[in-house]
Structure 1
């Protein structure tokens, strides 16, 4: 899967290092820009997690220099204020192997995706009766939930897995910068999903743009799926135009990047 390497700044007061900087220090948006600075983002994330661990009084933490430990799913959850685990089922070994193969395939599809897909991730099955095809939440980071239906065919698994990985990388960015302002308006996505915050609209547009990139890398430049994601992504951009005042400067910059991609 490749290595993830980051060199965090000193944690003493470092929680303000990256948030005080313009989000453009990362050179774009994950999965979309070849020069996106993965190590720089992860360095900031490690510093913020170290600070949160002290503020929350977390006892069992990695050594300060253990970058891999700080980027693990356990550390992500243990250092997330108000972390909220979700009811899930364990992922059977055979399905886990399919997920791992699919994740490796996505990492090999485009060279700049390899480092992104190296982030440690935990996988679970959604509870029976949950109508979602897949799910992630900022409050339970580096955890991806998949439905039974996600395993119907390779295309479904690839799409849904990439969908959730997109969310996970934006969640990492949100550890450093808020994308919308307090009290931001809620809207209905083009899919009909209601009561979504502007940051979630950004997430939906990001998924659409990245999925189109996946199909392009596979040699598919048109057809029903590509057209659907194109229309969906542009519908999200229309919403973001309406929500411009509800976005932080970081959210506005990401929205601008997504306009270029879609």
Structure 2
């Protein structure tokens, strides 16, 4: 059993016993020690390093990446807030995960519908297409929030070994790292649960679930062949995701 399973009850969005507050506290302590080595923080100081702005500032001490982005309208920010709350009513055990502090930006100069990046912790980028329908926005918010929670884990324990192989995901996207493969697999499992719970047109739901099952099967095959590319924590996550993919 890895430290993540022992100390935090498993993995976010996957294990019902996962303790998000414990993980966030651990992340906050690591961030505080990164900028204030040897000192003991007050509770308010730990809360401060969990804001997206401070998170980005601290990450840039080690990893700096400039990304183009725009500002979302107030109307779209309201849509995002309402969608996060709505998904929390559908899946109450996800509510603490969805309520983590996040900043949302307009995604620019990209063909993607949404995006997250380890270099920008607690920041999510959404293209105009993400707002095309309520179900689309719910999917993209869950998708990117899943990435953010794995980034929290990676902030303390890497999921992949150094200089590992690159993978082509079932979507055809190539050059992805082992941790990105885990991220894609994690998203598939979570989106399958979302679409199973979310009111939607029956034909649309069936089509999305079929796609997710096929994508998950492709991810499972890649993970089974990539054990040596994962750290012990990454291997534990891969095993849990394989279990979940086999059950969908």
Q: Same fold (TM over 0.5)?
A: yes
Choose which of 34, 39, 43 in structure 2 pairs with 1:65. Answer: 43
- The Cα RMSD (Å) is 1.6
* Contact 1:85-1:140 within 8 A present in 2 as well: no
**Structure 1 unaligned blocks of 5 or more:** 1-20, 56-62
Verify: 1:33 aligned to 2:11, yes or no. Answer: no
Verify: 1:197 aligned to 2:177, yes or no. Answer: yes
Choose which of 51, 64, 69 in structure 2 pairs with 1:88. Answer: 69
CA distance in structure 2 between the aligned counterparts of 1:214 and 1:78, rounded to whole angstroms? 32
* Contact 1:53-1:78 within 8 A present in 2 as well: no
1:34-183 matches, cutoff 5 A: 34-54=16-36, 64-66=42-44, 67-80=46-59, 81-127=62-108, 129-183=109-163
How far did 1:219 drift? 6.4
Q: Per the alignment, in what secondary structure is the counterpart of residue 125 of structure 2? A: strand
CA distance in structure 2 between the aligned counterparts of 1:160 and 1:228, rounded to whole angstroms? 15
Choose which of 201, 206, 218 in structure 2 pairs with 1:223. Answer: 206
Which string of whole-angstrom CA distances, capped at 9 and with x for unpartnered residues, describes residues 93-128 of structure 1?
A: 11111111111111222121111111110000011x
* Contact 1:205-1:237 within 8 A present in 2 as well: yes
What is the number of residues matched between the two proteins?
234
Which string of whole-angstrom CA distances, capped at 9 and with x for unpartnered residues, describes residues 20-67 of structure 1?
A: x62212222211221101122112101110122237xxxxxxx63213
Matching residue of 1:241: 224
**Structure 2 unaligned blocks of 5 or more:** none
CA distance in structure 1 between the aligned counterparts of 2:17 and 2:144, rounded to whole angstroms? 21
* Contact 1:76-1:141 within 8 A present in 2 as well: yes
CA distance in structure 2 between the aligned counterparts of 1:100 and 1:70, rounded to whole angstroms? 22
Which string of whole-angstrom CA distances, capped at 9 and with x for unpartnered residues, describes residues 217-248 of structure 1?
A: 23679611011011111211111111110100
Verify: 1:257 aligned to 2:240, yes or no. Answer: yes
The structure 1 segments of at least 4 consecutive aligned residues displaced by more than 6 Å after TM superposition are 219-222
* Contact 2:5-2:11 within 8 A present in 1 as well: no
CA distance in structure 2 between the aligned counterparts of 1:53 and 1:64, rounded to whole angstroms? 14
How far did 1:84 drift? 2.2
* Contact 2:83-2:137 within 8 A present in 1 as well: yes
Q: Per the alignment, in what secondary structure is the counterpart of residue 124 of structure 2? A: strand
* Contact 1:205-1:234 within 8 A present in 2 as well: no
How far did 1:85 drift? 3.8
Higher helix share: 2
Which string of whole-angstrom CA distances, capped at 9 and with x for unpartnered residues, describes residues 136-163 of structure 1?
A: 0000110000001111111111111110
